[in-house]
Structure 1
Amino acid sequence: MAEILATGDAMQRALALLGAGEIVAIPTETVYGLAGDATNGGAVARIFEAKGRPRFNPLIAHVADMAMAAQIAGFDPLSRKLAEKFWPGPLTLVLSLLAKSSIHPLATAGLDTIALRMPRGFGGELIARLGHPLAAPSANSSGRISATTAQAVAGDLGARIPLIVDGGPTPVGLESTIVKAEDGRLRLLRPGGIAAEEIEAIAGVELQRGGKAGVEAPGMLASHYAPGAAVRLNATEVMPGEALLAFGPERAAHSYRAAAELNLSPAGDLREAAANLFSHLMELDRSGTATIAVEPIPQQGLGEAINDRLSRAAAPRDMPLG
């Protein structure tokens, strides 16, 4: 089983493992990431193997600063403006990959673009001290619920990786928002920890929804973030034996039938709901129910990202978009 070390004790051990081409689970502000040196093909391959991730699904490369990012990707004016405002933080930019970049081709899944993010906290310090960007998708088996605690990582990947860095529960609880600028336009490829409205306010342009045909960035598989149980969305009543993922102060009809119940936010706070989403799904899944009924979640703000994750959790498994 993986060794688990608190952030205050883990830096040297993590650096030694990453420098040797190993992979390490680390906390970020969004969810826990399964990190490996993005310039090392063996390390990147270990990420795909540990997760059981399809090789056509690209990885985000995480950087410590703009100088490191500029060695990897070309920044158009709009992307640079967003990076200056939201980095470090839960925003990923899909950018043109520089020919001189040292990113291993396996991390980009053969695309001529690269998804870049600059994390806060332990992850950012780790990258700066390593001196290399880290590929770091969510630290969970491919397609399953993302981990927001070290214990969740251990329960899923603990037998496949050498180290889990424990930074406590992640504060955002959703993966990063992914956007791509093209010819002065901006496309939202994956809603996430920064609401679309915040990005539009800085960009000065409206975010167009959706990608083109195929997978352009991580998190674009139709089935993703899925528990073992089936997920039923926008439930206005609870069927016998279902678990209930509730939201707000008012309950769906016949909520007394629920075999288990957790509320994303009794007060109806979308930020609290986002932080609780994956951990609550995971706990309800452990109840043994065959179906998790989910009460309606508002679509505005972070609700767009929450509904995106829930729709993918409810989708037929392993179906790509496009």
Structure 2
Amino acid sequence: MAEVKPAAKALEDALALLAAGEVVALPTETVYGLAGDATNGEAVARIFEAKGRPRFNPLIAHVSSLAMAEDIAHIDPLSARLAEKFWPGPLTLVLPLRESAGIHPLVTAGLDTIALRMPRGFASGLIERLGRPLAAPSANRSGRVSATTAAAVAEDLGDRIRLVVDGGPTPVGVESTILKVEDGRLRLLRPGGVTAEEIEAAIGVAVERRDNAAIEAPGMMLSHYAPGAAVRLGVSSLQPGEALLAFGPRRAAGWERAVATKNLSGRGDLREAAANLFSFLKDLDRHGAKTIAVEPIPFDGLGEAINDRLKRAAAPRGEHRD
């Protein structure tokens, strides 16, 4: 079971676990978050694994300073004004991702944008000491109510993680508001701890809502990155001109003829496979094959999320996938 430790005594333990690629439940002003190093693919995969998250939805990356945010994303003038007014606090901004950001693709679910937030309190100090951003969705099993106390986290996730940092009840109690600036217009992607009225009063720009929008942020995921190549699933043999996304120690017949091959995990480890998924798909896409053939992947554990992602990548182009 997870150790529940007061925030005043938990910093070094939390740092050690995060540096080792583990996950930690920690308090923020909104709800408790399940945090992992946003630059470490296996750490991010552990977040999905612990939550039992059925799909690789994008995650919010948490920073400790505006300088850290600027290293990760391109910040337009209006977003900078929002950050100046509401950071640290319960506001998340969706911004264009820098190529040099170092954020693992599992955090963004393959999108070219990233959701960034600067939290208050223990989380901010932890990120500053770690020197890297933390991916941190709510610390609860997928589909359950977000936790606002350490006891609620321990009850829900105590058998799946090693440390819960107890910072008392969270003061806001709902997730952050998510905004995106687009051509000088301000779009609300998810309501949360900062109201649209507060934002409009502070910035002097109307907050727009859009129904049935394509996915752009955590909590909205309807579709994911799809490669330019077609994707063929569950293959037992390769066809001429295909690239191969492999899994495990055994190869599909004719694999030697593949335009290019990437193995998600030679030892058949689903956590390793999850960490490699987005980057390997993109890498194979660069080789110019018309089709990426994918070997069968088990559906247990993280395999469910991996197969869900691959099914979406294989869907006919132009579909709005749910």
TM range (shorter): 0.5 to 0.7
Count of aligned positions? 225
Q: Distance in 2 between matches of 1:53 and 1:215?
A: 17
Corresponding residue for 1:195?
195
Q: Distance in 1 between matches of 2:211 and 2:80?
A: 21
Matches within 5 A, 1:84-95: 84-95=84-95
Structure 1 vs Structure 2 CA RMSD: 1.6
Matches within 5 A, 1:34-183: 34-183=34-183
Shift of residue 321, structure 1, vs aligned partner: 9.4
Mark the runs of 5 or more structure 2 residues left unpaired by the alignment. 223-319
> 1:65–1:118: 8 Å Cα contact kept in structure 2?
yes
Q: Residue type matched to 1:101 in 2?
A: A
Q: TM-score, normalised by structure 2?
A: 0.68
1:225-280 Cα distance to aligned partner (Å, 9 max, x none): xxxxxxxxxxxxxxxxxxxxxxxxxxxxxxxxxxxxxxxxxxxxxxxxxxxxxxxx
> 1:61–1:136: 8 Å Cα contact kept in structure 2?
yes
1:46-80 Cα distance to aligned partner (Å, 9 max, x none): 00111111343100000000111011000011100
Q: Residue type matched to 1:18 in 2?
A: L
- Work out whether 1:5 is the aligned partner of 2:5: yes
Q: Distance in 1 between matches of 2:135 and 2:35?
A: 6
Q: Distance in 1 between matches of 2:203 and 2:94?
A: 15
Shift of residue 28, structure 1, vs aligned partner: 0.2
Give the 3-state SS of the residue equivalent to 1:95 in structure 2.
Answer: strand
Q: Distance in 2 between matches of 1:110 and 1:217?
A: 12
1:127-180 Cα distance to aligned partner (Å, 9 max, x none): 000000000000001121000000100111110000000001000000000000
Q: Distance in 2 between matches of 1:28 and 1:22?
A: 19
| Bigger radius of gyration | 2
Q: Distance in 2 between matches of 1:94 and 1:116?
A: 6
Give the 3-state SS of the residue equivalent to 1:129 in structure 2.
Answer: helix
> 2:59–2:107: 8 Å Cα contact kept in structure 1?
yes
Give the 3-state SS of the residue equivalent to 2:146 in structure 1.
Answer: coil
Mark the runs of 5 or more structure 1 residues left unpaired by the alignment. 223-319
Q: Distance in 1 between matches of 2:158 and 2:57?
A: 23
Give the 3-state SS of the residue equivalent to 2:172 in structure 1.
Answer: coil
Query: CA 1:91/1:145 → structure 2, altered by over 3 Å: closer, same or farther?
Result: same
Q: Distance in 2 between matches of 1:165 and 1:43?
A: 18
Shift of residue 203, structure 1, vs aligned partner: 2.3
Identical amino acids, percent of aligned pairs: 73
Give the 3-state SS of the residue equivalent to 2:153 in structure 1.
Answer: helix
Q: TM-score, normalised by structure 1?
A: 0.68
> 1:188–1:211: 8 Å Cα contact kept in structure 2?
no
Give the 3-state SS of the residue equivalent to 1:219 in structure 2.
Answer: coil
Q: Distance in 1 between matches of 2:29 and 2:117?
A: 12
> 2:25–2:32: 8 Å Cα contact kept in structure 1?
yes
